[in-house]
Amino acid sequence: MNPTQQLQVTVVLISVSLILAIVSQATAAWAHSSYDNSSIGLWQLCLSNICRSFWDLGLKEAAYVDAVRAFSIMSMIFQCTALALTLMAFKNQSGNHRRNTSSVMMSAGVFMFIAMIVFSTKYHLSFSVSFGYSFYLGWINFAFSFLIAGFIYCFKERNPPVYPVPE
């Protein structure tokens, strides 16, 4: 695979990862309760298929929701940064953004991992609550971010450094 194809694949993979993060963050299907037919997201609560934001209901979100929001937003910011670094590599053909992009995607994965762990610890012992698709999309995004980081790191450099040979 030539360097241009590598960059194109990287742009597609990072874009898919970013879309997964946005969908995970925006939807109200993080946890479902079979007890009262409700679901909770990071921004709203749905009771009997009627969704309202936490602010409309006058509810103060728990600190864990704020933490999950913050870490997943940081993950999305880092993914946008990785996408920008990859797009800059298209323009600057002599530049080597491989390690930077890989480390930024690894950081995005770490932030998503922290967000998922924080949410998991809240609901792991509740028998009437099951996790929804938004929660699983977050975990898929975490794994995908690490796979992308490894994929980018394994790419061949455009202009590998030349080290002097000792005489």
Rounded Cα–Cα distance for residues 7 and 11 (Å): 6
Q: Give the model's pLDDT for residue 111.
A: 96
pTM: 0.84
Pairing of strands 50-53, 129-131: unpaired
Q: What is the mean pLDDT of each run of 10 residues along the chain (167 residues)?
A: 81 94 91 82 84 74 84 95 87 68 93 93 73 92 92 70 71
The count of C-alpha atoms lying within 13 angstroms of the C-alpha of 33, restricted to the half-sphere facing its C-beta, is 15
Q: Give the model's pLDDT for residue 74.
A: 96
- Residue-wise pLDDT for 19-67, tens only, equals 999 999 998 888 888 777 888 888 888 888 788 887 777 666 678 888 9
Q: Give the model's pLDDT for residue 157.
A: 61
Torsion from C-alpha of 124, 129, 132, 138, nearest 10 degrees: -20
Q: Token digits for 86?
A: 């990859």
Are the beta carbons of 119 and 60 closer than 8 angstroms? no
Q: Give the model's pLDDT for residue 112.
A: 95
Rounded Cα–Cα distance for residues 157 and 34 (Å): 52
Smallest Cα–Cα separation from 153: which of 82, 91, 103, 111? 103
Q: Give the model's pLDDT for residue 6.
A: 82
Task: Classify domain 3-29+61-154 at the CATH topology level.
Answer: Butyryl-CoA Dehydrogenase, subunit A; domain 3 (1.20.140)
The total number of residues written for the chain in this structure: 167
Q: Which residues of 135-159 are buried (b: 16+ CB within 10 A; e: fewer)?
A: bebbbbbbebbbebbeebeebeebe
Rounded Cα–Cα distance for residues 41 and 52 (Å): 10
Q: Give the model's pLDDT for residue 147.
A: 92
